[in-house]
A and B are shown apart, each in its own frame.
Chain A
Amino acid sequence: MNSIAAYRPIGVGTQPNHLHPPYVSSIKRSPTKPLIQIPYTLSEVTGPSFESRLVSPAASDLTHQQHGDPLGERIIVSGRVLDEDDRLLSNTLIEIWQANAAGRYAHEWDQHDAPLDPNFTGCGRAITDSEGRYRFVTIRPGEYPWRNHYNAWRPAHIHFSLFGPAFATRLVTQMYFPGDPLLPVDPVFQCTADEKARNRLISVFDLETTMPMHALGYRFDIVLRGRDATPMEDK
């Protein structure tokens, strides 16, 4: 009757558990009962499409959203979105948000004693092109303190949100920068047991996308889940 190809199971240790006590907020917000296994149905293998949403090219340049130039180091963050079968994913919505160069978010709850930048909102979006590529121009975000534990600091990072082709491929993650000394002591970055999986969240400095006399380039490829090659025969 209806045969639905399942998404591949995730590799052991390559995704965080909901409960990760060093990240204190997870303690009261993660489920305590086991998650229930269910088969993939039409509800999970379909999902929203944003192709018709107008995402203007200007939305991917975070340095030209206000009247003046934001402070800080201009950078280019680009990459490809693909799935676990190496297929390039076109027309996928990417949303990003981040702190400014001083490590402050333009959010009313951010109480960090660092200056806001009236020329930087820290919000961008893009839709991948026919070859799965995206490109943002932004400012390198600053590190900032938080209250997770004594003298806790977040490494510099950019939040990424992606949809992919289905409800099952939804992903929210964070991109980090190479050589950041805070990575080994950050409980959010460290929440994933598998070291290789963790390190794939670190962007790579890229001379090819670096623009002479203008901005350094960082590459960050994002992989969304892939489906089993053969549909599971439901009957």
Chain B
Amino acid sequence: MRLTLASSLVASSLIASAALHAGAQQPPSKPAQPVATKPAPPRPPQPAASGETIAITGARIHPVSGPVIDKGTVVVSGGRILAVGSNVQVPAGARTIDAAGKVVTPGFLDSSTQVGIVEVSLSADGTADGASTEKGLSAAFNVVDAFNPNSTVLPVTRVEGVTRTVVMPAGTGHVLIGQAAVIDLSGAHAPASVHRTPAAMVALLGEAGAAVTGGSRASAMLRLRESLQDTRDYLANRAAYNTAQRRDYALSRLDLEALAPVVRGEVPLAIQANRASDLLAAMRLAEEYKLRLILVGASEGWMVADEIARHKVPVIVKPLTNLPNFDSLGATLENPGRLVKAGVDIALASFETHRSGTLRQEGGNAIAYGLDRGAALSAVTLGAARIWGVADRFGSIEPGKDADLVVWSGDPFELTTTAERVFIQGREMPKDTRQRQLLERYRDVKTMPRR
């Protein structure tokens, strides 16, 4: 997929693409996830945060918040992490999971998907809620209102170790395309599965912004400024506006209200842009309006990495971005590594929906092209959680945090590694997926449905 990140989000609903590590696995002697002989009917999601007490023992644990623990134990209770360490007592009555030789990490967070709001991207009316092209609707659009926890995409994604994601809007009606949210993939309905909303207000600059504002980057910036100025004016003159004593605004009342926490600096503005000049322009705008800024895409981020670091602006990157398009002639697989070396906080994103599970492949490639291994893990766990404002409950294996955990057969970033067990808020997720049921039906040629 040649699309730049930002333009892929403009395309409706994201359809729009060293040394050998020592741990390359051989085929396991037994399949890691043995295929059941009879397909089970899909189970409805259980209530979140069961009280089960679980001890995962003998694993190599990456708490992310601290050093790696060899042969450690994690105890989970009431949906939270109770204890972690090398000398942790297993509480009486706990379900013990022997994870000797396994690797345990926090659940991964994919910093940009449309999981739960897009079932089938194209030509399947009513299944794709990620985008609105409606003119006159911009900032107020909130993905949470469309979130469907029963989507087939959730189980397919979480069996790859992704337990939370930032669900992004993808509209094309305005430079402001709406509000993103951090949701978990447990299958619980909103609001239980929603951990931050709005996690950010999303705006388009650069080529993508130009595409929705008549064809120029300059007009995109103008419309964004106009929106911010209108919001400030509206907030200072709300009463007058409501009695029709104030001039017209370019945005509707709903959109102005949605922008209020952004201009107050409470909700970050996530600007999608790639070209170095657009990234600098975004930072100037944020400085002028005293906004909290997150840069999304930033394929030329490395070219202005020192500026980004100086402004302390976090960046959401897709590591596998290197096609030279006019919006991103500087795109390189070394972008994540170079940003981190310059002191920039990053989080990784797949910018996928059905293939959000490729997040760890993105991370592995970022490592292969210079990103520090620990920084890569943080960029899909604690570091990402900090950027999106959910680090109080998520992102590391520490007592008191939500027990989002993955037991891996080996290096999580390696392609041949399996996510053997996935826990969200202390509850072990079923391995069942629609894909798995299809596999079971067609596993044996002799018993396949007749042709």
B partners with A? no
